[in-house]
Amino acid sequence: MAEIQLRNVSKRFGDIVAVDDLSIDVMDGEFVVLLGPSGAGKTTTLRLIAGLERPDAGNVLIDGALATGVHPSDRDVAFIFQQYSLYPHLTVFGNLAFPLRSPRRRISEADVRARVHAVAEMLHMESKLQNMATHLSGGEMQRVAIGRALVRQPKVFLMDEPLSSLDAKLREELRIELKRLHRTIGATIIYVTHDQVEATTLADRIGILEHGRLVQLGTPREVYGNPVSLSAAQRLGSPPINLLPPMLFDSAHLPKGTATVAIRPEDIVLHDPDVGDARGVQDALNLTVLEYSPLRHLLILDRAGTAVVATTVAERNFLPGQAVGVSLPARSLLYFRADGRRVPT
């Protein structure tokens, strides 16, 4: 496997800056997920690593060697797309064997068969090897697409939203498979998605991308619990983080420059109206119930037109219009400036 380094990489398409001075280090055997909305530069970043695009500035290094000018076929990188890209006229075996039968590889047919069967066993596809690619389900097709990359034994796997066209159940199954494969083969994987569930369940580290720039890079726990910006805080969490105006708080408790106060729904403390909690919380607020979802333990409250979402640990009978006391523990509050940067506390 290999380490990947991007050093101050930029890529423009006309007036559009797709990747903007991006630097990132991916360690050998690490599973890094690039998370962000459409247009954040995620796919372009993968294409720059693969050599399908050339950077306008900066460099790509693979295992410490400069790869910026190296042809894609010589980078020993496997690219897995959302589309399955299988050969419909070939069997599963034929699709898996195809990359190994390139004249450049000079692999014996016995070794081809051994590698194909090993990968098929890893992907639980042994019984499907003689099936035509067109006779597979969506999940099976994506397994074969992943298998075609695995048989090559590349240094790096680049995955561009490979599960996004599958239904929810298949996505969950293949997420488990991908994590198992990563543990088994110890591969270096860079994975692109806009799905926070995929990011948090798969990643060793998550890179938050926005407008072509790296906003934050850290473990899922680090990014969730200690976001460096408002955009990073909003990228993870379901239900999403509460963003509250400073006017709801005593200004004496707010750091200078605070434009937004944020708190995760699970950190909100609920109690009876007009009952405060003096143990490390801000002044208690009285809010009105807008909606309660008992199956999700999700409570939506209102404070002067501002919606506040809280999660409850046990089912309770909240009714619309009911008054509820809310305390916001000081240790759980995050403060952000008007430009979205975190206010240090």
Q: What are the residue boundaries of the structural domains of the chain, listed by start?
A: 4-235, 242-336
Residue 57 structure tokens: 């500035």
- CATH number for the domain running over 242-336: 2.40.50.140
At 276 the pLDDT is 54
Residue 66: beta bridge partners?
61
**Quick check: 212 and 40 in contact, CB under 8 A?**
yes
**Number of other residues whose CB lies within 10 A of the CB of residue 130:** 9
**Quick check: 84 and 145 in contact, CB under 8 A?**
yes
Query: Identical fold at 4-235 and 242-336?
Result: no
Query: Phi, psi at residue 83, to the nearest 5°?
Result: -75, 145
Mean pLDDT per block of 10 residues along the chain (345 residues) reads 94 97 97 96 97 97 94 92 82 92 84 92 90 88 88 92 82 86 90 94 97 97 97 95 91 93 94 60 74 84 87 80 90 96 93
At 167 the pLDDT is 79
Class of domain 4-235: alpha beta
Cα gap 79→276, rounded to integer Å: 56
Find, among 4, 1, 7, 72, the residue nearest to 214 by Cα.
7
Cα gap 93→296, rounded to integer Å: 44
Q: pTM, whole model, 2 decimals?
A: 0.88
At 193 the pLDDT is 95
